Structure 1
Amino acid sequence: MSTVIDNAPYTAFHRRLAFACSGGPLLDGYILSVVGVALIGMQPQLKLSTGAVSLIGAAALLGMFLGGAVFGVLTDKIGREVMYTADLLVMTACSIASFWVTDVWAIVALRLVLGMAVAADYPIATSLLAEWLPVKQRGRLLGQQIIAWYAGSVLAYVVGYVSIQLGGEGSWRWLLASPAVLCAFFMVIRRGSPESPLWLARNGRGDEAVELVRRHLDADVTVDELLAGEPAESERMDAGSLRVLFSARYRRRTLFCGLFFLCQVAPLFAMLTFGPAILGAFGLPGGTVMDTLGTGLISLVFLIGCYPALRAIDTRGRRPVIIWSFALMIVPLMFLGVWPTAPSLLALAALCAYAFLCGGPNVLDWTYPNELFPTSVRATAVGFATSVSRVGAAVGTYLLPMSLTGLGIGPTMLMAAGLTAVGLLVSALWAEETRGVGLQQAAADAPAERARERTAERKPVRV
């Protein structure tokens, strides 16, 4: 089963749309990472306790839980384009307001709203992008959205390093306000981005959908062709329905997407938010630019690890990549847990190895939920998976400083290894293979049916 969009030639239009959609992930990486640098100056100036620091680190993640759950549903109900820039306006306002904060609760409130706005962008942008991409480029370009996340994280540490060098610890206010510059840039880039033709066709606006495909893909298509693979009218699902995600047809996919995402990002976010504290526990000089540069290096390796994974998901397949990645990610975490007194440079190397191996799950974070669910609940599924993952990330970020203080670095790393092992188990049991499958076919078919179809295609015809 194929569609005009699945088989369309890859053009400059797709590249522009992918770049425009990358704004949300880039801002997420920047906003969540820059606070780790800002805390260096913020903590002594505002006299923050360990609990307050943990709360500030977790606030944006809690906001992402709320934003993903709510705005994914709205995106499926009212459209991708309608909400496409509103979240950037909210991020701009909250970032500017952060410059003037004077107490911990104001910071927490603003970062909570920032998190909601960032999470809104994931279901909006990734579902819109998935519904325009040819099948051969879908995995790579959806996976590249996470590269934008790490680019934002690396940028945050570069900006943080320069700010500390030039302005000292008092530059933390400028760091918290700096995302406004990126928001303004992507608001300009996103102007004129089109609505999803699949969403339009499914919601009774077929003429608009046909015209958009003709204008941007230079192809003639009918509404019936756009809806090929969608559930029949008698089986039509409520748009944006969480109930559909937990129906017998999609329950396993919903649990898989949420749980593997959670097991991957909980250690990751804690590591990036409190990277200087982790490296300090391994003996790297704390309170200096060295721990900031060390955390920036780890962020850069997270980014580098995504590139071979992007190639592998299209050559080897989604399922083997996610399983082997989780299995190998356990090794450096176990090493650090068993040897908590490892020399600081060796500990940094192990953390970099973990970061590199994270590339597999990273590039599948938004690929899998976009591929495994139909148009009517695609954004809802992305939003739900994001929400579940951020619950784990928020808990991990909140507890990490307390764990380092109360249990020490060794047990903390062992707990991270245990959570990664859960991700391995979930992937081994439930990961499906969607490589080379049309978007609507991947969402509609059971994996067993796809396997039978591929086997039948490979069988020689007897004469």
Structure 2
Amino acid sequence: MSTASLEKSRPTRTHWLITLYAGGGEFCDGYILSIIGVALPLLTADYHLNSFDAGVVGSASLVGMFAGGLIFGYVTDLVGRQKVYLFDIAAFIVLSAAQFFVTDPWQLTVLRFLMGIAIGADFAIAGTIASEFAPRNSRGPLLVIMVTMWSVGAAVAYVVGWAMMSSGHDDWRWMLASSAIPAVLILLLRFGTPESPRWLLSKGRTDEAEAVLKQMLGPDATLAELEADTASRTRYGDIFRGAYLRRTVFISVFWACQLLPIYAITTYEPTILASFGLADGNDSYLGSVVVQIFFVLGSLSGILVVNKGRRTLLLWSFGLSAIPLLALAAFAHPAPAVVVVLFAAFGVACFSSQCLQAIYPSELFPTGVRATANGFATGISRIGAALGTWGAPVVLAHSTRLAMLLGAVICVIGWAASYVLAPETSGLTLADASAVDRDGDPRGRSRLRRGTAADPTTPRPTVKETS
């Protein structure tokens, strides 16, 4: 009698709902982190902030993400995906609403920091839970959809911010508090999401894991294929041992190099476009909306190539991202249309590989430390993002062209690091991608090179634990 396999199944309604609900958190993340870009100029004028203070407010959530990722990724591996999955969205609601009532910039800085902690937790859990439910051949495309929701949230934030600008004194309060609305909707949708069967199995809760799998795939579902992936322990230090240290360094570096220019540009996009002479006032926000649409299209474009090669996608993305930034640095007075085209080209190139921020950490680490690795990379990468967000107004005050040149340099550094460190994991089960061979490569990749890849439903030896 044939058995139903999680790795070999076709995406079901449950797969899509889990992906979309995880993507709902990404939507809120993108909205929260981008709406500040619309509100910040108004807030700066209202409180007469200098560039340093504005940078502190703008980067507070990113510093919070550093703490949230480092802590709650590990907590997620200890207590389960489902609990953190609901907690962080509930925190979004409370903290978003509280922003409306601040009376001093330091209060807003504290709230944005706490929101960052919740966002860091969500980044650690969203990709983890979506990848652990996703079938092998659909994992890449499903996670592309999930990560694209971040770009959609960012684009919607600019649309909402532009629509809410009425030159009123409290416009920025309404903008920042508006993120509570999508958070309420996502929290309601996330109720009822099942716990990951991989995590349940890793904690010895076999009956519960089997019940979840049978509910998804039918009475013939088997746990055999999950056993190798769930044999690892939950110990924070394991992501720094042996071949996993190289993987931890890789995901942290490439993620930071992607985010530094992205967050700097996204947070201060209206200001950057205005400095290029695109427009002043509300029209510069409309220009930001147009550019954000291309960011969404760029993120979706990853679905076309993600299964053809994760490493290839990452290298091409970094290489092509540097070109429009170099052009913006080289042109003294580019025409407004040229500015929009170059930023759109950057968005398509850079965002095409955003899905790898969720895919690589989920594929390169076993279940016991998957969320831990996701959280650690989230936290470390936000150092780069925070530096970009905090430093952008300082550099922009000196020279917009210099800011574009620095962004291009970061892209080149990301390309070089990826060329040296990035493995290829496309086409592998989570068990084979997360296990390592004697050369430190994904175990399944070695099998594919030898032409001896095993069927994903065949039980495998457990991952050897490092001491």
TM-score bucket (shorter structure)? over 0.9
Aligned to 1:269, the other structure's residue is in SS state: helix
Write the mapping of 1:47-196 to structure 2, written as runs, cut at 5 A.
47-165=48-166, 168=168, 170-196=170-196
Aligned to 2:424, the other structure's residue is in SS state: coil
| Conserved? CA contact 1:4–1:219, under 8 Å | no
Change in CA separation of 1:78 and 1:210 when aligned onto 2, cut-off 3 Å: same
TM-score, reference length from structure 1: 0.93
Whether 2:407 is the aligned partner of 1:413: answer no
Q: Aligned partners of 1:362 and 1:10: how far apart in 2?
A: 22
Q: 1:356-377, CA deviations, whole angstroms, 9 ceiling, x for partnerless residues?
A: 1113321211111001100000
**Displacement of 1:27 after TM fit?**
0.7
Q: Aligned partners of 1:291 and 1:244: how far apart in 2?
A: 47
Structure 2 counterpart of 1:279, from 256, 266, 273: 273
| Conserved? CA contact 2:62–2:385, under 8 Å | yes
Q: 1:265-315, CA deviations, whole angstroms, 9 ceiling, x for partnerless residues?
A: 1100110100111112211233x111111112221111101222211111x
What residue in structure 1 maps to residue 226 of structure 2?
226
Change in CA separation of 1:265 and 1:219 when aligned onto 2, cut-off 3 Å: farther
Structure 2 counterpart of 1:295, from 271, 288, 293: 288
Q: Aligned partners of 1:227 and 1:451: how far apart in 2?
A: 19
Change in CA separation of 1:48 and 1:436 when aligned onto 2, cut-off 3 Å: same
Q: 1:335-368, CA deviations, whole angstroms, 9 ceiling, x for partnerless residues?
A: 1112243223212211111111113321211111
Change in CA separation of 1:213 and 1:458 when aligned onto 2, cut-off 3 Å: closer
Change in CA separation of 1:335 and 1:169 when aligned onto 2, cut-off 3 Å: farther
| Conserved? CA contact 1:210–1:220, under 8 Å | no
| Conserved? CA contact 2:151–2:295, under 8 Å | yes
CA RMSD of aligned residues (A): 1.8
**Displacement of 1:228 after TM fit?**
2.9
Aligned to 2:306, the other structure's residue is in SS state: helix
| Conserved? CA contact 2:4–2:220, under 8 Å | no
Change in CA separation of 1:219 and 1:127 when aligned onto 2, cut-off 3 Å: farther
Change in CA separation of 1:46 and 1:209 when aligned onto 2, cut-off 3 Å: same
What residue in structure 2 maps to residue 265 of structure 1?
259
**Displacement of 1:53 after TM fit?**
1.0
Q: Aligned partners of 1:172 and 1:85: how far apart in 2?
A: 27
Q: What are structure 1's unaligned runs of at least 5 residues? A: none
Q: 1:373-423, CA deviations, whole angstroms, 9 ceiling, x for partnerless residues?
A: 0000000111111111111010111001101113x1122111111111010
Aligned to 2:138, the other structure's residue is in SS state: helix
Change in CA separation of 1:448 and 1:203 when aligned onto 2, cut-off 3 Å: closer
| Conserved? CA contact 2:128–2:370, under 8 Å | yes
| Conserved? CA contact 1:4–1:226, under 8 Å | no
Q: Aligned partners of 2:393 and 2:136: how far apart in 1?
A: 43
**Displacement of 1:201 after TM fit?**
0.7
One-letter amino acid matched to 2:246? R
What residue in structure 2 maps to residue 439 of structure 1?
430
Aligned to 1:85, the other structure's residue is in SS state: helix
Whether 2:323 is the aligned partner of 1:331: answer yes
Aligned to 1:131, the other structure's residue is in SS state: helix
One-letter amino acid matched to 1:438? T
Structure 2 counterpart of 1:455, from 436, 449, 466: 449
Q: 1:419-462, CA deviations, whole angstroms, 9 ceiling, x for partnerless residues?
A: 11010011111111111111111101343744442233289xxx
Change in CA separation of 1:245 and 1:340 when aligned onto 2, cut-off 3 Å: farther
Whether 2:29 is the aligned partner of 1:15: answer no
One-letter amino acid matched to 1:134? P
| Conserved? CA contact 1:123–1:382, under 8 Å | yes
Q: Aligned partners of 2:51 and 2:41: how far apart in 1?
A: 13
Q: Aligned partners of 1:458 and 1:209: how far apart in 2?
A: 29
Q: 1:103-160, CA deviations, whole angstroms, 9 ceiling, x for partnerless residues?
A: 1100100000011111111222221111111111101111222210011001101111
What residue in structure 2 maps to residue 304 of structure 1?
297
One-letter amino acid matched to 1:261? W
Change in CA separation of 1:258 and 1:435 when aligned onto 2, cut-off 3 Å: same
What residue in structure 2 maps to residue 375 of structure 1?
367
Aligned to 1:84, the other structure's residue is in SS state: helix
What residue in structure 2 maps to residue 423 of structure 1?
414
Q: Aligned partners of 1:363 and 1:129: how far apart in 2?
A: 12
Q: Aligned partners of 1:308 and 1:225: how far apart in 2?
A: 31
Aligned to 2:243, the other structure's residue is in SS state: coil
Write the mapping of 1:373-412 to structure 2, written as runs, cut at 5 A.
373-406=365-398, 408-412=399-403
| Conserved? CA contact 2:29–2:150, under 8 Å | yes
